[in-house]
Amino acid sequence: MKKKFVFIGDTDSINIEVIIKTHKIVKNKVKYILLGDKKEFIRYYSKLSSNLKINSVLDPINFSDYEKESLNIFDIQNVNKKKFSNLINQINFSNYLSSKSKIDLITMPINKSLFKKNIDFVGMTEYLGHINNKKTTMLMYGNKFSVIPLTTHTNLKDVNFSINKNFLYKNLNNILINIKKKKYYLNFNEIKFLCYNPHCSENQTLGLEDNIISNSIKKFKSVKGPFPADSAFKNINLNTLFISMYHDQVLIPFKILNTKSFNLTLGLNYRRLSPAHGTASDIKFQNKADIISYLECMNF
């Protein structure tokens, strides 16, 4: 049976509702332990209609005292009055457990603005790379196709500074090495790089960026392109990976066209997964939470 850790994330969200809704579905397929502050979890849990027992696990790496019928939680107690400090502490400890045990870590959504107001924080993918001293990449895996934006939560006006041979070579080389690793179970028949400018810069009349991209990807036989982004998604299949320079160019079609998807971090010594949605705090306690992406994380 698979084993997974689940970092509860921001409780001002649909996170715990999603976990409760899926327990009966996954309990016979996956042994999972929740990671977070137990008292805070119970405060949220008490507002939901559930009769599941909450069980404390003292030795998460060995899954000691695990109970299949219960919600099993390892208590990472809040240590600070500031919410972001508690979440950072929980993320760090969750990372430690997965790094040591090589057990998958599912990170439930957080409100990134809480972190950005207090520390230098781009996103979970980048933060986990930083604390592990690893080059990490965000791969969004979908039931129709998958995507990688080479820059993630970056102001669009700053993206062009990354369009250079050194950046492209390092990132593409790292991606190609990682997607071949057995632990990810990835099998892409096609890897397509998208043009940065409309119509691939119209013979360089809109800029030289796509010429730089074209010359850079020639070094990699398995990477094709660059292709005009406005027509690239007409012919798609499960085994196609699209790579772009910036977030929305691939994430918009990805979220519209895929009905099942999740976030997979490449580059760590364990598999980190996350649902492809945010905290959705506006619908908490309303029994409207969609469980599909979380189930994909559990089943992967």
Note whether 8 and 115 are same-domain residues.
yes
Paired tokens of 97: 């457990």
Note whether 268 and 130 are same-domain residues.
yes
| Sheet with strand 137-142: strands edge to edge | 54-56, 71-75, 30-36, 2-7, 104-107, 272-275, 261-266, 137-142, 146-149, 240-244, 190-194, 223-227
Amino acid letter at 223? V
Number of structural domains, the chain?
Answer: 2
Note whether 247 and 282 are same-domain residues.
no
Note whether 13 and 102 are same-domain residues.
yes
At 26-48, the pLDDT tens digits run 999 999 999 999 999 999 898 88
Mean pLDDT (the chain, rounded): 93
Note whether 246 and 183 are same-domain residues.
yes
The pTM of the full predicted model, rounded to 2 decimals, is: 0.94
Note whether 217 and 267 are same-domain residues.
no
Note whether 9 and 114 are same-domain residues.
yes
Average pLDDT over residues 143-149: 96
Note whether 11 and 118 are same-domain residues.
yes
At 41-95, the pLDDT tens digits run 999 898 888 899 999 999 999 999 999 999 999 999 998 888 889 999 999 999 9
Predicted pLDDT at 181? 95
Note whether 134 and 170 are same-domain residues.
no
Q: Which residues pair with 73 in a beta bridge?
A: 34, 56
**Can you give the CATH number for the domain in which 65 is found?**
3.40.718.10
DSSP letter for 52, please: P
- Which pairing describes strands 71-75 and 146-149: parallel, antiparallel, or unpaired? unpaired
Print the domain residue range for 181: 144-258
Cα dihedral: 75, 80, 84, 87 (round 10): -10
Note whether 107 and 232 are same-domain residues.
no
